[in-house]
Amino acid sequence: MIGRKLIMLQNGTVFYKEEAVLKTPYLEELKDLTLKNVKKHSYTGLVAIIRFYVRLSNFLKNKYQEVKTKIKNIQKRNSEGESLDRQEISKFLKIISEYKHKIKEIKHKIKEEENL
């Protein structure tokens, strides 16, 4: 408790004793140097944190894209494998799809003839 009054109890009486203040130029220089170093290191720490954040976000984005393509490739392989093992389409559905195609062709021909 430098620079403050100390209360000392001696034999039931209160004495006020003032201590000498220790202000030396060495302590002031040390204080200034520590403040400068703290500011400098806080800036470098902040820059390091921002660089780490940017690198981590790019890394995660790249890994996300890789996983996404892997999943698409796996789904593609699974769908190709299923297409070979699929059951045959019923004759009724084949006939209906053929009729739909024929109707589309007829409509297309009619539109071509009307525009000419």
pLDDT band at 62 (very low <50, low <70, confident <90, very high): very high
pTM of the model: 0.41
d(CA 89, CA 98): 13
d(CA 27, CA 101): 95
At 40-57, the pLDDT tens digits run 899 899 999 999 999 999
- The count of C-alpha atoms lying within 13 angstroms of the C-alpha of 27, restricted to the half-sphere facing its C-beta, is 4
Average pLDDT, the chain: 80
d(CA 42, CA 77): 52
At 76-97, the pLDDT tens digits run 888 876 655 566 778 899 999 9
**Residue that the structure tokens 């030396």 belong to:** 24
**Residue that the structure tokens 């525009």 belong to:** 115
d(CA 1, CA 79): 80
